[in-house]
Chains A and B, each alone.
Chain A
Amino acid sequence: MSRYIATRAIRGANGLVAEAEAMVSSAILDQGPDTPVAFPNTAYYLPVALGMTGIEVETLGQLSDVVAHARRLLHPVPADHQWTPYLGETLDSGMATLLAAETIEAIRYIDGRQPEVMPGFDLAGGSAFTSPDTDAVAEESPNGHLNGAIDDIQLRSWGIQLVDGRMPGFAAIVGCAKSNEVAVQIVRELQRRNILCFLSGNVNGRSIIHQLIEEGVELGYDTYTVPFGTDTISAIYALGFATRSALTFGGLKGGQGREILLYNKDRVFAFVLALGEVDDLKYAAAAGAINFGFPVIADTVIPQILPTGVTTYEHVVSMPFNEIDGVDDLERAERLVQKCIEVRGVKVHIADVPVPVPYGSAFEGEVVRKADMRVEFGGKQSRAFEYLRMAELDKVTDGKIEVVGPDFSEIEPEGHMDLGIVVDVAGRQMEKDFEPVLERQIHYFVNGASGIQHIGQRDIAWIRLSTKATDAGFRLEGFGKILHARFHADFGAIVDKVQVTLVTDPPMLTELLNEARVAYDFRNKRLEDLTDTAVDVFYSCTLCQSFAPNHVCIVSPERLGLCGAYNWLDCKASFNINPTGPNQPIKLGRSVDSIKGYWEGTNEYAKIGSHGVVDEVAMYSIMENPMTACGCFECIVMLIPEANGVMVVSREDTSMTPAGMTFSTLAGLAGGGIQTPGVMGVGKFYLASPKFISADGGFKRVVWMSSFLKDSMSDELKVVADLAGDPALIDRIADERLVTTVEELLPWLEEHEHPALTMEAIL
């Protein structure tokens, strides 16, 4: 600390704790101590209170215990002279501030004052604020308010990107930038590096949230830019997110405050960026953040705290905006962001993609609405396809980007045209098997450009270019430049040369499309043949171990990783890219039990990979030594003993399940690298695999599944049903629209003659 900061932080902490105490007392008076308290869709009660004190807050009355704890952490402000030490005292007061802030927000949720109302505002990509009780509210509109607490589902869906380093961390931006232009630039710079931006706070009533809205920047989950609230207190959601990262992925429990904070210091690359004047409350909240190892960077003159220790590098850095070197404010904003990254030691690998629009994963979720569209390829009225093929080294000219046929300049606004994207790659380590692995990346690579939307794959690709992007100079060559840059950056170990052809010329397009379709068919056959018995190695996946230190996935051809992002071929390619990386071949060796799926090799690896936490893993059973999960699973499979079967809940499903718990609560049981028979986190495409809990009876055991899965995987599930010899099987499975309790489930299953009822007892 510095005495200046300590004084203000402790003063701010004392003030906020007093405010929280007053709010708790009056809320209890008004509404009674038993009034329920929760952040919507989070399984961790009030996460900071849970993490730091172990209190599982469910009612208003329990908030008294939280503020009492906060009170005990407070200290008097240091004297002007002859002071006693203040660093530990300030950090404690900072923690008190966080507990008080979370208490205040929880009460505001009861009152309907959280998430903060902002008339006319639309969140990009939905909202946390879906009431678990009435789906109607969620469906009504996600609009008219800021985000509030991030829900668990979003945390988990970001999980894989957080753990594999694609999303290096988050920036808690508090206050108001020097100008709207600077605000946009700061956020763009962070987005470019795939750093999540959490926005809160204001300076004299004006918040960066206002600035970005005025500039038309899309805010919400989809753009990695989440507006919490326009007061400082809402910054608590960032620390709640951090706490839940440790609980979700780190296998830590409530009350393990020190461990949770150290987890964040070592693994979550986050920092606080304070824009504009820093007042007592901001200092107090910053002191709370420093407990997590998150440094604070300010764009004003504040005392610096450069010695290290509580944070990995400097604790507090002042970079007065006007003193930053730079030709203009935009360059200053860029330098400010660079400084933040340097101070936190965030590892950012960023491919320099030479296109005239902002580029980064943060733009992957951007939507281009019809009204904003210049031209589209594919979709209802035209055709687009993408095809990546391996070629001989001497047949490929690296960096060559060729447009065959007319450009879109003749197409009327909001019009459409056909497009073929053909990528030729060559490399000494390249294999035919890697073609589909690389081809699937086109979706992510193209989507990274701001103002460009990409949906689908192969010959059902659908790409939209916004007027903004084309006005900025984006042309068809841009696709080639993106693909060339990203394949080199991300797959340089197997790709030596990349050449891209963009085809609009009808005859050539038809010719290439036909060639592509032959290749698609060939690959489909190859995948069908690629079964667990056809290979002698599986792959480990320890990508998550930076976050979930003892979890290990074993990926087989018929069982993809639980995050859904890595199948066997992906792992194989990844091993070729980085032979010492997170995906290592596991030689199967002798089969120990081919039904349950034990091999000597997999058992041995499970022990090593989990650091001794797990002794054995059954690849095909949920009942015996099931595979563990980190926390980023797409679905949870859980035993319903009464129904002699299992249910499958997708993370998109926020409703109640027959197990009496929502996805969020179940996730707490399934994650953290712990083996729990009867509970398993899986990737959703595993449901369609012949090896899906095959030792326990396979897919016919599924008695209940989220309707989201039924809808989004209808084609795959149809195949599964046919294979099971019962084309009506899917209709015999209940979902949340039909049944939400186990009492309702049994008669429903009987009525629909579900096969599980007559199967051998699962227990």
Chain B
Amino acid sequence: MAEQDIPSPRRGRRSPQEASVDPAAQAMLAFADEIGASTAFSRADTLGPCNIGAVGMCCSLCGMGPCRLTKDGSTGICGATIDTIQARNFIRSVAAGAAAHSDHGRDLAFTLKAVADGEAEGYTIRDVPKLRVVASHYGINVRDRSPEEIAGDLADLYLDQFGRQQGVLEPIGRAPVKRRKRWEELGVTPRGIDREIVEALHRTHMGDDQDPAHILHHAIRTSLADGWGGSMIATDISDILFGTPAPLLGEANLGVLKDDMVNVVVHGHEPTLSEMIVAASRDPDIVEYARAAGANGINLAGICCTANEILMRQGIPAAGNFLQQELAILTGAIEAMVVDVQCIMQALVALAEGFHTKIITTSPKVKIKGATHIEFDEHHAVGIAKDILRLAIDNYRERGATHIPDYRNTLTPGFSHEYINYMLGGSYRGSFRPLNDAIMAGRIRGVAAIVGCTNPRIQHDSMHTAITSSLLQQDVLVVETGCAAIANAKFGLLIGDAGLDKVGPGLREVCETVGIPPVLHMGSCVDNTRILTVLTQMVEEGGLGDDIDEVPAIGIAPEWMSEKALSIATYCVASGAYVIMGGSNPVEGRQDKVPESVLVADHMSSGWNEMYGGKLEFVDDADEIISRTINHIDAKRATLGLPEYNPTRFGMSGDARVEELEALPLQERRSALYGANS
């Protein structure tokens, strides 16, 4: 540990420019070096990944091991083969990821229930129309009933999905018919959310399921219980309680922190507490309290997916993505970092000790040694939110010197599938027709969902921005969630103006027609279900095949790191998508040493492709990801019989010519625009 605290000479260490492409991050990394602070970046430089575990060749599931299988033909103590071990490790990750998303969904369902029962202080049902639409999916009677009555039934139905033992998970009914049939035939339709996760853990206990294909089969089922279950429930209820997002203007990067205000950063994944903190931060008493403390008010900002939740709905700025949590503390400008669940580094507490920042844990499930714990309870949310803010305000006077990097960019988040439907035709003519038309004509070559984390083993944000920029120039429309969206927001790709000069000619026409940025921010990582819904609606609109696997679309997680990402990837594959993960490959194996160590990776690619029309591949090179993406999209276009992509065919429309003519002097302008009228 001593070694990494020495800032210089930086033997084996990346420079800030090598560690991140984000100038704000670079500035903070330079500052960290200066003061000798440890960050995930520096730790990644000094702590290499275990070269056996990283490629999935180690089994630590029982007390007879851990067993490292590094030679051809070797097995674990129990005789487990390399492919069994890889499949078991993989499904355990999927189960953990599915559990994280689904437990998030469960808590929201409890909140909805409490709101329906009138027991949740400060919460209301903000989107009654969505409540009615969602409830109608399940045959809940919505006529002549109060929103609370409907919400009560919906909450009960959703809570039932977790503990249900048999039958079909209800939200599965929202997938395309053909897809559901395929799941039914392959026997992967999930029964109950908790049941599939428990079964995954059971199957991978010592001495259970030892057929890799059979294990992976259940990985599919477990992930579906996430994507078409827990996550979808989370998104639905978040929209119902806090409003379905629609575009607004926001900002991203560390420059959103304010020197003269009390900075409170919310970090994690859930909107429940953060929405309440947003409300409390606007409370006149609290604002007055902050002024009394000498601050110019309260400045709220987010990190990670909590940021996305309140950015999408409230326009609260995002201070950064996953890898910026420590960098935010390094600014010295944060009075409190309020965290809930998932992706919160334990390192925050130690780092914060060098500053005045208070790390406040709030989830009953998440405590961190040394952090302040103020437990959140949705029944008393307003009071708790105010307590947290008062604590932060009280801490303002402890603030020392600040180093806020002056980098931030604007973005337009808020693309729920409901809004996408609206934006393509308005209140009366909303539909996915214009999107499908644009793809069919070839103005839009295809759609890429670029999602997922950031990872300190990869140059921060580099893969996200490189892949996104390149695809945009090749007329691929990009939709994003999670930390990927924040990455590209920082580089100005999520703003309308980017639709004019950072894209190919056909996509430019579409962006200009609709007024959209070329990258649509669709929410947090549980909101990947919105992408599933969009794909389903594209299929239902017609012209792009009758199942998701026929749509010229792809999913990419270029800088993934969490187990949730693996669950997302798996349910996307099961739904028919080609998914490419950047960075490390947990089932990579070592073909040179253990030939059979690539069987699982092969199965996830060609095996799953045969069964689901989607496949999972790990590719660590941005150019290779781009080329596979383009090849995949073009192949899907060809299968659908769509015209071959041709960048010279489109781009004739738009405002440019008129704006040019309007700049002419009056007389010339008149005749140029209108001709000479007799």
CB distance from B159 to the nearest CB of A (A): 35
Query: Are A85 and B516 closer than 8 Å at their CB atoms?
Result: yes
Answer whether A309 and B438 are a contact pair too, CB < 8 Å, given A92-B426, A303-B658.
yes
Contact with B along A54-82 (1 / 0, CB 8 A): 00000000000000000001000010011
B9 within 8 A of A: no
| CA gap between A81 and B514 in the complex, in Å | 14
B247, B425, B427, B429: the one within 8 Å of A84 (CB): B247
Query: Are B425 and A88 closer than 8 Å at their CB atoms?
Result: yes
B25 within 8 A of A: no
Q: Residue among B247, B248, B661, B677 with the most chain A CB within 10 A?
A: B677
Stretch of A1-9, A390-398, A403-411, A733-741 at the chain-chain interface: A1-9
Query: Are A84 and B428 closer than 8 Å at their CB atoms?
Result: no
Contact with A along B665-678 (1 / 0, CB 8 A): 00000001111111
Contacts of A305 in B (CB 8 A): 513, 653
Answer whether A178 and B675 are a contact pair too, CB < 8 Å, given A82-B497, A84-B248.
yes
Query: Are B513 and A88 closer than 8 Å at their CB atoms?
Result: no
Question: Which chain B residues (635-654) contact chain A, with CB distance < 8 Å?
Answer: 650, 652-654
A203 within 8 A of B: yes
Query: Are B429 and A261 closer than 8 Å at their CB atoms?
Result: yes
B410, B426, B427, B653: the one within 8 Å of A82 (CB): B410
Contacts of B650 in A (CB 8 A): 306
| CA gap between A363 and B424 in the complex, in Å | 41
Minimum CB distance partner of A306 in chain B: B653
Query: Are B515 and A304 closer than 8 Å at their CB atoms?
Result: no
| CA gap between A6 and B430 in the complex, in Å | 17
B615 within 8 A of A: no
Minimum CB distance partner of B513 in chain A: A307
| CA gap between A301 and B668 in the complex, in Å | 13
CB distance from A638 to the nearest CB of B (A): 35
Minimum CB distance partner of A6 in chain B: B515
A4, A179, A204, A322: the one within 8 Å of B658 (CB): A4
CB distance from B189 to the nearest CB of A (A): 33
A302 within 8 A of B: yes
| CA gap between A95 and B654 in the complex, in Å | 23
Query: Are A86 and B515 closer than 8 Å at their CB atoms?
Result: yes
Query: Are A1 and B675 closer than 8 Å at their CB atoms?
Result: no
Minimum CB distance partner of B497 in chain A: A81
Contacts of B422 in A (CB 8 A): 88
Contact with B along A291-321 (1 / 0, CB 8 A): 1000000011111111111100011100011
B208 within 8 A of A: no
Question: Which chain B residues (379-413) contact chain A, with CB distance < 8 Å?
Answer: 410, 412
Answer whether A308 and B658 are a contact pair too, CB < 8 Å, given A2-B513, A291-B428.
no
A557 within 8 A of B: no
CB distance from B672 to the nearest CB of A (A): 7
CB distance from A265 to the nearest CB of B (A): 8
Contacts of B425 in A (CB 8 A): 87-88, 91, 309-310
Query: Are B515 and A302 closer than 8 Å at their CB atoms?
Result: no
A252 within 8 A of B: no
Contacts of A6 in B (CB 8 A): 515
Contacts of A302 in B (CB 8 A): 658
Query: Are A178 and B678 closer than 8 Å at their CB atoms?
Result: yes
CB distance from B655 to the nearest CB of A (A): 4
Query: Are A303 and B675 closer than 8 Å at their CB atoms?
Result: no
Query: Are B497 and A88 closer than 8 Å at their CB atoms?
Result: no
Query: Are B426 and A88 closer than 8 Å at their CB atoms?
Result: yes
Query: Are B428 and A261 closer than 8 Å at their CB atoms?
Result: yes
B657 within 8 A of A: yes
CB distance from A332 to the nearest CB of B (A): 10
A276 within 8 A of B: yes
CB distance from B435 to the nearest CB of A (A): 7
Query: Are A84 and B515 closer than 8 Å at their CB atoms?
Result: yes
Answer whether A91 and B428 are a contact pair too, CB < 8 Å, given A3-B512, A82-B495, A178-B678.
yes
| CA gap between A291 and B430 in the complex, in Å | 10
Contacts of B190 in A (CB 8 A): none
| CA gap between A310 and B434 in the complex, in Å | 6
| CA gap between A143 and B678 in the complex, in Å | 29
Size of the chain B interface, CB-CB below 8 angstroms: 49
| CA gap between A90 and B427 in the complex, in Å | 10
B430, B436, B443, B512: the one within 8 Å of A88 (CB): B430
| CA gap between A321 and B429 in the complex, in Å | 31
Query: Are A309 and B428 closer than 8 Å at their CB atoms?
Result: no
Query: Are A4 and B659 closer than 8 Å at their CB atoms?
Result: yes
Answer whether A1 and B514 are a contact pair too, CB < 8 Å, given A84-B412, A276-B677, A307-B437.
yes
Interface of A is mostly: loop
Answer whether A258 and B426 are a contact pair too, CB < 8 Å, given A85-B515, A300-B674.
no
Minimum CB distance partner of B510 in chain A: A307
Contacts of B429 in A (CB 8 A): 91, 258, 261-262, 291, 310
CB distance from A10 to the nearest CB of B (A): 11
| CA gap between A84 and B248 in the complex, in Å | 6
Query: Are B655 and A3 closer than 8 Å at their CB atoms?
Result: yes
B343 within 8 A of A: no
Contacts of B433 in A (CB 8 A): 309-310
Contacts of B652 in A (CB 8 A): 304, 306
Query: Are B426 and A2 closer than 8 Å at their CB atoms?
Result: no
Query: Are B514 and A87 closer than 8 Å at their CB atoms?
Result: yes
| CA gap between A78 and B434 in the complex, in Å | 21
Question: Which chain A residues (300-358) contact chain B, with CB distance < 8 Å?
Answer: 300-310, 314-316, 320-322
Answer whether A306 and B426 are a contact pair too, CB < 8 Å, given A84-B412, A84-B496.
no
B83 within 8 A of A: no
Query: Are A3 and B427 closer than 8 Å at their CB atoms?
Result: no
Contact with A along B308-341 (1 / 0, CB 8 A): 0000000000000000000000000000000000
A222 within 8 A of B: no
A277, A306, A307: the one within 8 Å of B673 (CB): A277
| CA gap between A725 and B426 in the complex, in Å | 64
Q: Residue among A94, A180, A307, A315 with the most chain B CB within 10 A?
A: A307
| CA gap between A308 and B437 in the complex, in Å | 6
CB distance from A395 to the nearest CB of B (A): 52
Minimum CB distance partner of A89 in chain B: B426
A107 within 8 A of B: no
Contacts of A91 in B (CB 8 A): 425-429
Query: Are A303 and B441 closer than 8 Å at their CB atoms?
Result: no
Query: Are B427 and A87 closer than 8 Å at their CB atoms?
Result: no
Minimum CB distance partner of B671 in chain A: A322
Contacts of B249 in A (CB 8 A): 82, 84
Contacts of B658 in A (CB 8 A): 4, 301-303
A176 within 8 A of B: yes
| CA gap between A257 and B427 in the complex, in Å | 10
Query: Are B435 and A309 closer than 8 Å at their CB atoms?
Result: yes
Query: Are A87 and B424 closer than 8 Å at their CB atoms?
Result: yes
Contacts of A257 in B (CB 8 A): 428
Contacts of B424 in A (CB 8 A): 87-88, 309-310
| CA gap between A338 and B678 in the complex, in Å | 23
Contacts of A300 in B (CB 8 A): 673-675
Contacts of B657 in A (CB 8 A): 301, 303
CB distance from A730 to the nearest CB of B (A): 50
Contacts of B239 in A (CB 8 A): none
B588 within 8 A of A: no
Ranked nearest first, the 3 interchain pairs of A and B with the lowest CB-CB distance are A309-B434, A91-B426, A304-B653
Can you name 10 A-B residue pairings with CB atoms under 8 Å? Answer: A85-B423, A86-B514, A87-B423, A204-B677, A306-B653, A307-B509, A308-B441, A309-B425, A309-B436, A314-B653
- Could you list which residues of chain A lie within 8 angstroms of chain B, going by C-beta atoms? 1-4, 6, 52, 73, 78, 81-92, 94-95, 176, 178-180, 203-204, 257-258, 261-262, 276-277, 291, 299-310, 314-316, 320-322
Beyond the given pairs A52-B428, A307-B443, 18 more chain A to chain B contacts, judged by CB atoms under 8 angstroms and listed by A's residue number, are A1-B513, A2-B513, A4-B659, A73-B427, A82-B410, A84-B496, A85-B515, A87-B424, A91-B426, A92-B427, A95-B426, A307-B438, A307-B513, A308-B438, A309-B434, A310-B425, A320-B675, A321-B675
- Could you list which residues of chain B lie within 8 angstroms of chain A, going by C-beta atoms? 247-249, 410, 412, 422-431, 433-438, 441, 443, 495-497, 509-510, 512-516, 650, 652-655, 657-659, 661, 672-678
